[in-house]
């Protein structure tokens, strides 16, 4: 609202925003945003590290999720605060880009904002803080790249050992830590099965079968999917083949009632019979064409009806209809060939093959399994466990491990975990801050201090005396022990590079860059304008007095005749 006196007369107020709009601005708004982000961080901070706790989240439908994955927790929290949503975005970005470190990136961003609070209260311009943070983040990334240890890929045994250690480190904070060697081996085998040029992790299928123990989980170096919907005649089909030819279709092999497809007008009963016969001839022509290809396994995205199922069973052919699109895609990647949208002109080059096809019972489910695939660019992990929530958390844990192994293969540079890298970068930034003058010295020092939140939180979550651990780490890094970090087993500090607590350098680089960007973004906002939601049934603007009576008053005399 604005009002001014012009020519001795008060001008009427100018309304810029609609009624009900909520505005807040200035330092108070900035501090409020920082406080909101601190509340989000408090939700996930206790999940960090090997001794982190899990969160149990229940949605409005009563579905429970147990997880300690930062991105999963923030997604399920349904955060509505505009500034705090930034932390959700960086957690999702970290999950998509690297796959691990989602909790770390949120905790770092929250601590960076917390360190700026005193500067904001003292009246320091946010732009000065942003400039210092961007400089500090750039220096931190350069320092990590300098520190990173390059791994020689020429020795396949040593390189596999490195991948096992990286996968094991990502599982340290997960529910599956007790079976870490077993699952690390499974993850490395699965990633090794992919095409090493693009490493498309979507080609690693994950199937969950409740029941059994974790050790009953298995890796299929090929494709496995649950038995699809089956029609009569399915049980008569053979369930095992050696070196079968496989055809993948996007064709419906089912008789449909005429009314479902078209309207046909006829003058004679014989014409109706001719139409029915034509439909039968069409589907039989399709089935004969498939049999002539020599394929012994027929898969289709669309339904394969009872007529086709029985037809294939009579000729010792296995068929499965309504195969999920991602499963069919992985079958094609593994066995070769291509998906056909017609049954005519199918040649040998369109067919795939594998060493062995089986339909087997796993737990309470039957699975179709393709093994010994010549192009084997895919793998399938079949996970077992007692509860569905537990298996879902195992799947999330293995996704993190798969992404870590993928990044380690693509970027063969590793650093030590357990807070070692953060402490070394913090020491480097503290030393650098003493070489600059003015407010930037304090701001870069605050950034350096914020990095210490990772080892402090690791120690807190493990029940250690965090102050003592941090003081010891500061002393060790000042003496030149670059890779010293929190040691959960000895309740002290240790050289985490020697203890094989390794992570790809990309995880740290991405986490610090994203956290700094998020902090700078939130610091650059000094006003929030929130429009009132337009809801049905919400009262509109108040009518002037007497409007209702005027609306009810007849407009003319008699039968709607207007007044003159």
Q: Which residues are known to be catalytic?
A: 69, 102-103, 400
Task: Please report, for residues 14, 15, 35, 176, the alpha-carbon distance to residue 1 in angstroms, rounded to integers and kept in the order given.
Answer: 6, 5, 29, 59
Helix (H, G, I), strand (E, B) or coil at 438: coil
| Beta bridge partners of residue 357, listed in sequence order | 241, 370
Q: What residue has token string 């206790």? A: 46
The Cα 148–Cα 504 span in angstroms is 9
How wide is the angle at C-alpha 459 spanned by C-alphas 462 and 163, nearest 5°? 85
Rg of the chain's alpha carbons, rounded to an integer?
Answer: 33
Q: Is the dihedral of CA 195, 197, 200, 201 positive or negative?
A: positive
Side by side, the strands of the sheet bearing 204-210 are 204-210, 379-385, 218-220
The Cα 321–Cα 129 span in angstroms is 60
CB-based contact 387:212 (threshold 8 Å):
no
First CA to last CA distance, the chain: 44
Q: Which residue from 467, 515, 531, 533 is spatially nearest to 136, judged by alpha carbons? A: 515
Q: What is the DSSP letter of 203?
A: G
CB-based contact 245:362 (threshold 8 Å):
no
Q: Which residue from 357, 379, 381, 360 is spatially nearest to 247, judged by alpha carbons? A: 357
Q: Which residue from 325, 402, 359, 385 is spatially nearest to 224, judged by alpha carbons? A: 359
Q: Which residue from 182, 184, 177 is spatially nearest to 217, judged by alpha carbons? A: 182
How many C-beta atoms surround the C-beta of residue 256 within 10 A? 13
């Amino acid at each position: 609202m604005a009002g001014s006196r012009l020519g001795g007369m008060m001008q009427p107020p100018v309304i810029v925003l609609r009624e009900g709009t909520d505005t807040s601005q200035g330092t108070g708004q900035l501090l409020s945003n920082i406080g909101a982000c601190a509340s989000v961080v408090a939700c996930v901070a206790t999940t960090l590290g090997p001794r982190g706790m899990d969160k149990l989240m229940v949605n409005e439908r009563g579905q429970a999720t147990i997880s300690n994955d930062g991105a999963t927790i923030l997604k399920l929290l349904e955060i509505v605060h505009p500034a705090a949503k930034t932390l959700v975005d960086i957690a999702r970005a970290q999950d998509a880009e690297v796959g691990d470190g989602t909790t770390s990136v949120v905790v770092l961003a929250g601590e960076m904002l917390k360190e700026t609070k005193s500067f904001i209260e003292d009246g320091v311009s946010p732009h000065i803080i942003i400039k210092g943070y961007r400089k500090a983040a750039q220096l931190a990334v350069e320092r990590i790249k300098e520190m990173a240890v390059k791994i020689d890929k020429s020795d396949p045994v040593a390189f596999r050992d490195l991948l096992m250690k990286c996968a094991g480190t990502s599982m340290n904070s997960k529910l599956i830590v007790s079976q870490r060697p077993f699952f690390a081996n499974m993850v490395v085998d699965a990633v090794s099965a992919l095409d090493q040029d693009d490493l498309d992790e979507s080609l690693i299928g994950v199937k969950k079968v409740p029941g059994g123990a974790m050790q009953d989980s298995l890796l299929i170096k090929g494709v496995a999917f649950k038995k699809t919907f089956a029609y009569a005649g399915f049980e008569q089909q053979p369930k095992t083949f050696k070196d079968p030819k496989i055809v993948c279709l996007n064709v419906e092999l089912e008789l449909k009632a005429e009314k479902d497809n078209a309207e046909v007008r006829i003058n004679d009963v014989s014409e109706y019979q001719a139409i029915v016969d034509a439909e039968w001839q069409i589907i039989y022509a399709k089935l004969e064409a498939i049999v002539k290809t020599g394929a012994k396994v027929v898969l289709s995205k669309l339904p394969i009806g009872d007529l086709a199922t029985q037809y294939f069973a009579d000729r010792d052919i296995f068929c499965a209809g309504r195969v999920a699109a991602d499963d069919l895609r992985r079958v094609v990647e593994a066995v070769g060939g291509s998906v056909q949208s017609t049954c005519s002109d199918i040649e040998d080059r369109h067919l795939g093959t594998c060493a062995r096809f089986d339909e087997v019972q796993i737990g309470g489910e039957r699975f179709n399994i393709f093994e010994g695939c010549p192009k084997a660019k895919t793998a399938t992990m079949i996970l077992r466990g007692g509860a569905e929530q537990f298996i879902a958390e195992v799947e999330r844990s293995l996704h993190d491990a798969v992404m870590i192994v993928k990044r380690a293969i693509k970027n063969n540079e590793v650093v030590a975990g357990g807070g070692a890298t953060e402490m070394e970068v913090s020491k480097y930034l503290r030393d650098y801050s003493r070489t600059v003058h003015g407010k930037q010295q304090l701001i870069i020092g605050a950034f350096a201090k914020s990095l210490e939140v990772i080892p402090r939180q690791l120690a807190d979550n493990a029940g250690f005396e965090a102050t003592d651990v941090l003081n010891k780490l500061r002393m060790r890094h000042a003496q030149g022990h670059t890779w010293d970090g929190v040691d959960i087993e000895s309740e002290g500090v240790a050289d985490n590079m020697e203890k094989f607590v390794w992570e790809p350098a990309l995880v740290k680089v991405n986490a610090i860059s994203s956290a700094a960007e998020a902090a700078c973004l939130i610091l650059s906002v000094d006003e929030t304008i929130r429009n009132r939601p337009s809801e049905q049934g919400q009262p509109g603007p108040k009518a002037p007095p007497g409007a209702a009576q005027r609306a009810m008053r007849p407009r003319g005399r008699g039968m709607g005749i207007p007044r003159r």
